[in-house]
Structure 1
Amino acid sequence: MRLHARKWVAAALLAAAGAASAGVTVNYVKPDEFIDMPRSPQDREQVLRDLSRHFASLGKELPAGQELKVTVTDVDLAGWLEPRRWAMDDIRIMRGGADWPSIDLSYTLEQNGQVIRSGKDTLKNMMYQQRISKYTASDPLRYEKQMIDDWFHKAITGSQVGSR
């Protein structure tokens, strides 16, 4: 019985620690109308899930008690989507010209319920193929993640960590 009570106390402490930790909430406004998303509903959902996970992973860098709320209003992925007649999926071609990624978003950074920073930004990575990236070539959103990292460290944390 005593061991069972310890488990409940440990679970309660973990829950309290999670509630006090930093977090990120991401909302997408009319994602079906975004400039450049995959045609397949499953692929679109995967892109949005991956972007949300990436924002959440950056949220771990926020101090305890801070919450970042992001509203994404448009996404234009790197490259151009080219349909393939003989396959069910499309292929993304990246030429490095005017096909850079961009994301339109607004954000609010709160500390213990008080707004400490908010704004609206258009993220762009015009030199996306000329920069060194920590993301592997197998990551389909490597350029978008790099762009989000740069924005997060400049606009949210005020540091240049991760920027090149």
Structure 2
Amino acid sequence: MKTLLMKTALAGLLALGAGMASAEVKVTYIESDKFADLPFSPWDRENILERITEHFNKLGERLPQGQDLTIEVIDIDLAGREYPAPRSGRDLRVMKGMADWPTMDLRYSLTQDGKVLKEGKAKLSDMSYMQRINRASDSDPLRYEKRMIDDWFDKNIVGKKSGS
């Protein structure tokens, strides 16, 4: 987890130094070891959190210059359920499209020049995650979570309606 925070901070400093950052996105994970559903192995858990942080940062590129988004992730429940697979050495995530949809609890704050534009708590979920069209690659293990985050970001942060 310490490595993830250091990488995020370094990436932010490099972007600022290069003059390329139009907006800043800061993502923190509150007691990630207590999240409802992340992989069992520490390196897989860190990889998932890094990929979610990268996705939030990518979305942040769409913010107007001078706006900053702070996100505190309180809980994550990934799509499907993970089962130990002792023979392969890697756990197996099975998605059935029933009561195993992705969810994420977070707090957020969107500011511009120190003024709060939007803030609140959000419970993201996608109960029909397997019935919807997904533009992400089938090889992306977080394709359902990313779409769920995209929907929330479009509706609540940039004010874009779904399907527009």
Using the size of structure 2 for normalisation, the TM-score is: 0.87
Q: Tell me, what secondary structure is at the counterpart of 1:32?
A: helix
SS at match of 1:17: coil
Structure 1 position 113, deviation (Å): 1.3
For 1:108 and 1:52, the matched residues in 2 are separated by 16
Gaps (5+ residues) in structure 2?
1-15
Please give the TM-score of this superposition, normalised by the length of structure 1: 0.87
My pick for the range that moved more, 26-35 or 80-89, is 80-89
Q: What's 2:161 paired with?
A: 160
CA distance in 2, matches of 1:33, 1:147: 21
Partner secondary structure for residue 18 of structure 1: coil
Deviations 1:42-79 (Å, cap 9, x if unpaired)?
Answer: 00000000000000000000000000000000000000
Q: Pairwise mapping of residues 112-127 of structure 1 onto structure 2 (< 5 A)?
A: 112-127=113-128
Identity of aligned residues (%): 50
The one-letter code sitting in structure 2 at the alignment partner of 1:89 is: R
- Counterpart in the other structure of 1:42: 43
Task: State the distance in 2 between where 1:87 and 1:123 align.
Answer: 32
In the TM superposition, what is the alpha-carbon distance from 1:16 to its structure 2 partner?
7.0
Root-mean-square deviation (Å): 1.5
- Determine the structure 2 residue equivalent to 1:6: none
1:18 is aligned, of 17, 20, 23, to: 20
What's the CA shift for 1:17? 3.1
In 1, Cα distance between equivalents of 2:63 and 2:33: 30
Q: Which amino acid aligns with 2:52?
A: L
User: Quick check: which has more Rg, 1 or 2?
Assistant: 1
Count of matched residue positions in the alignment of Structure 1 and Structure 2 = 149
2:66 corresponds to which residue?
Answer: 65
